[in-house]
A and B are shown apart, each in its own frame.
Chain A
């Protein structure tokens, strides 16, 4: 087999893995959008916030330590204990539920019935707010996150491919774990929205707020639930990205990467988010591999957006989105 083709295959595989991670973030967007029609820009910052909280709890950091210390002249930073990873994840989930409640209580409840674009801008404000709070609580330096997920090159794939192609593929164990977790997560979410009472209520709310209200579904409860689920997805995404590249500000920028994924797949479709993520992941890796060296590299910065832009011109609702019907 020609060498270039083997390289390309490795690139495609790595692209698929990266795509899964994009899809993970995009999933959080889709959930909230489907249930409340809100395009939640803060999803990426929520992932950052979740990851920072997780690290903070695991290391026993004192929240707002920097602020307290400089206001009162004290000097404490750590409680002096380490929390086991699993417990820390559960505690962080609690924080995310609390956050969901706060967002619903203080922001979204007051904006019911506003235009979608106003809601979108409110979530941009929320993103700034959360980012500031996260930095104040846990400090803005880059942290490493290790919850015990396997990392490093997968030797089995390396050996197997070496035997077949005379060239060992480099696939990170973490990416494989992420793929498995993403698959489980999607399955769980689909099962949740199809077969549980709350899931059905959620879909009813997404379909028609008024009708859902009239059959006795509490909008408040559903929205808090949806934001909590989105918080959970953000936590998972935060753990994956945090383990991969450290917990830092750039984590919140993956939200921007998730936008073209959404546009490709359609805002309203969970499978769309997955397929869109894979297309973007493979597309940008292949483009960088094939065209990148000719034009100076770093095409990953914009390829996804331009691809989505060109795609939308031909199919404005995305691959799996509901057809947009406009009436006067």
Chain B
């Protein structure tokens, strides 16, 4: 009825190759942006920001990053936690070394440093494939966490071994530290998420993304038709780590404020982000959003239902959460290996023909 291409004439190549070719999609996108930027900052409070919105925004960035690597380029990585830690520590070092520089620049530089480290650990991917690579990325995970734990330079020789985000601002508005207002931290993360999503979406639609997908589908065949695997794999690692690094920097500086690296960026974090990508849908930007939203919401909903409604002790709810997450992952892999994004695609196909399916 309302969701269709018919009557939506494209008169230029630019119009034809735009991200959302269907009018309804385009308007939905504008509405989402308008709500996210124009309405939510005015009604947000600390609880919503800290319990739901900030983790969602930050995990979505990390999930987009991992999706570039796993979903688009087919290189499974279990080192996300380690790369997030690189972003966090790079951001911390920059924040303390250059207090007058804007946080925007720090976060982006932190992403850049992580991209460099990511390329370094991506080098073995030229020789190692599949599971072997997944396990090799564990080396990055454990080595990086150990490094940040043991080398005092990274945490500025603080007695506790923790890193604490000092108060920094953007254009005079405090972004980090305990005094940062909820709307400012929210907007700060939202801007990064929007930029990252647009960048990722356009990268994956372009030459680079097609090369990644060629490598993913069959690397030898891709090599024969002229895709340089060195370039394709390393750019995937770089872009992916860039996003993951930004997510790590935001996670530390804006969301948590203080970080103990083994706890926050351990192997569990790597799996969490991987699950977001799987549940959301491999090879889909929308899927990264859906997966992040799902896994951020799930514990909150379970806690509300289990602890507040049913009156169970918190440890039972925590265990149940493991059971449910595990069961959901298996269910998704069996029923819909392409994740939430595929459900969305199917729904859109149905909508196009609705209400006359034949």
Contacts and interface: CB of A to CB of B under 8 A. Distances in A.
Contacts of A313: 124, 127-128
Interface stretch (B15-23, B198-206, B310-318): B310-318
Interface residues of A, number: 52
B32 interface: no
B316 A125 contact: no
B218 interface: yes
Contacts of A306: 139, 143
A120 B334 CA distance: 13
B128 A312 contact: yes
A67 B319 CA distance: 10
Contact of A308 (B139, B141, B311): B139
Contacts of B311: 70
Contact of A260 (B135, B145, B146, B337): B135
A306 B136 CA distance: 8
A301 B138 CA distance: 11
Interface stretch (B35-43, B104-112, B321-329): B321-329
A114 B337 contact: yes
B220 A125 contact: no
A311 B114 CA distance: 24
Contacts of B48: none
Interface string A254-276: 00100110110001000000000
Contacts of A10: none
Contacts of B124: 309, 312-313
Nearest to A64: B316
A135 B151 CA distance: 35
Contacts of B127: 312-313, 316
A124 B337 contact: no
A295 interface: yes
Contacts of B352: none
Given A259-B135, A296-B150, A313-B124, A136 B320 contact: yes
A108 to B, nearest CB: 10
Contacts of B330: 107, 122, 125-126, 129
A302 B313 contact: no
Interface in B261-277: 267, 271, 274-275
Given A70-B316, A136-B316, 16 more contacts: A66-B315, A70-B311, A107-B334, A111-B333, A111-B334, A118-B337, A120-B134, A121-B274, A125-B329, A128-B329, A133-B323, A256-B267, A260-B135, A306-B143, A309-B128, A316-B128
Q: Which 8 pairs of residues, A with B, have the shortest CB-CB distance? A: A129-B326, A132-B322, A125-B329, A128-B326, A132-B323, A305-B139, A296-B150, A302-B142
